[in-house]
Structure 1
Amino acid sequence: MLLADDTEAAKPYVKDIAEILKNQTVDPSVRSSAAYALGNLGEAAKPYVKDIAEILKNQTVDPFVRSSAAQALGNLGEAAKPYVKDIAEILKNQTVDPSVRSSAAQALGNLREAAKPYVKDIFDFLKDKTVDSGARFGATEALVNLGEAAKPFSRCLLFASKLTAFRCCQRTERKISSIRRRYQRPYCE
């Protein structure tokens, strides 16, 4: 969304953007873009932080929109700190879509100091083998952002990152091999 790149130009439209995010009849991709924009508008979006948090917590909202709401909160820094506990609850809730939990982990990582009490929860999400490794990548990023607070988990983090990269490479190699086999044609002279 272009407005997110120019805070001053977007200020007159912040209320409208927030209304789009809250409107459940709007297409989820548009609502997601509205959350993204608000997350990048800094001070101008402060009055709507509570609304963004409510979107994140609402389990009836599309996961794509909720993920964007989590990322928006992570980008809003100080204004989102009152909602750190809510973000952590989303991360810990195993019934929540993994992409939303991954975005919650990333948001906590972006909120740094305020998220330090939840480092172990982020690490537990990273270790959860029932969650897709792509979704767990958000936890890796969060722990890196949390720096010293994540240091007790750094050895395990390094191992998990290497293992995730290895598994992704394996899957990619299998897909490439499958494609090669499918499209190989007998050599003709």
Structure 2
Amino acid sequence: MDDDVHFVRSKAAVALGMLKVADEAEHLSEVLVDKSPSVRASAIFALGELGQDGCRFAHEVAKMVGDTIVGVRVAAVRALGRLGVGHYAGIVATTLNDPLVRCDALEALGVLGAYGAAFAEDVAECLQDDDTRVRVAAVKSLKNMGQQASDFAHLLLEDAVDDNHDGMEAAKSALLSINALDAIEVEE
């Protein structure tokens, strides 16, 4: 991690994460200030891969959501989702306004349990996005929120009759997941 070549530092960080080398978590957190964006993003990725062992650095990862480089912001949002530290859901939700991070933020909110579900209304607003990928990510996020997303079943139904097959299937699956399909008549 002390190599002069940023590519080597970046790959070393990724390897530590993939191998889940928890003993190096402290060292990975120190690399979050590296001048190279790829090294910062790789260190964030690695901390996210450490799961519970990386949780003690969630605060440092959360700070990286504000980085000027989109790849670093994406890595931070994804890592916060993987770390599962719910009280950072609010920080993740702030990135829903960033079109370059929105899909990753939706995915992260969907896995942050009740903390992520607190932002179900914000997630549901993304069902109206012009980008199909964002709409599908919003549907999947609401699906993961389960019953807490049931207030938005009518919006999911609109997606279920959309022309896009992936969006339609994801919406139907989400409606089943939140136990709302019974209450709504879906035309095939």
Q: Give the SS at the match of 2:119.
A: helix
Q: How high is the TM-score relative to the length of structure 2?
A: 0.70
Structure 1 letter corresponding to 2:23: P
* 1:27-46 equivalences in 2 (<5 Å): 28-46=37-55
Separation in 2, partners of 1:103, 1:3: 22
**Residue of structure 2 equivalent to 1:183:** none
Distance of aligned partners of 1:136 and 1:63 in 2 relative to their CA distance in 1, 3 Å threshold:
farther
**CA RMSD across the alignment:** 2.4
Offset from partner CA, 1:60-88 (integer Å, 9 cap, x none): 421121111111111111xx222222222
Q: Give the SS at the match of 2:101.
A: helix
**Residue of structure 2 equivalent to 1:21:** 32
Distance of aligned partners of 1:161 and 1:63 in 2 relative to their CA distance in 1, 3 Å threshold:
farther
Distance of aligned partners of 1:83 and 1:167 in 2 relative to their CA distance in 1, 3 Å threshold:
closer
Distance of aligned partners of 1:164 and 1:30 in 2 relative to their CA distance in 1, 3 Å threshold:
farther
Separation in 1, partners of 2:46, 2:62: 15
Separation in 2, partners of 1:33, 1:162: 40
Separation in 2, partners of 1:165, 1:34: 36
Separation in 2, partners of 1:49, 1:88: 16
1:99–1:135 contact (8 Å) kept in structure 2: no
**Residue of structure 2 equivalent to 1:173:** none
**Residue of structure 2 equivalent to 1:85:** 90
Shift of 1:38: 0.9
Q: Which runs of 5+ in 1 are unaligned?
A: 169-189
**Residue of structure 1 equivalent to 2:76:** 69
Q: By percentage of residues, which structure has more helix?
A: 1
1:133–1:164 contact (8 Å) kept in structure 2: no
**Residue of structure 2 equivalent to 1:154:** 153
Count residues in correspondence: 154
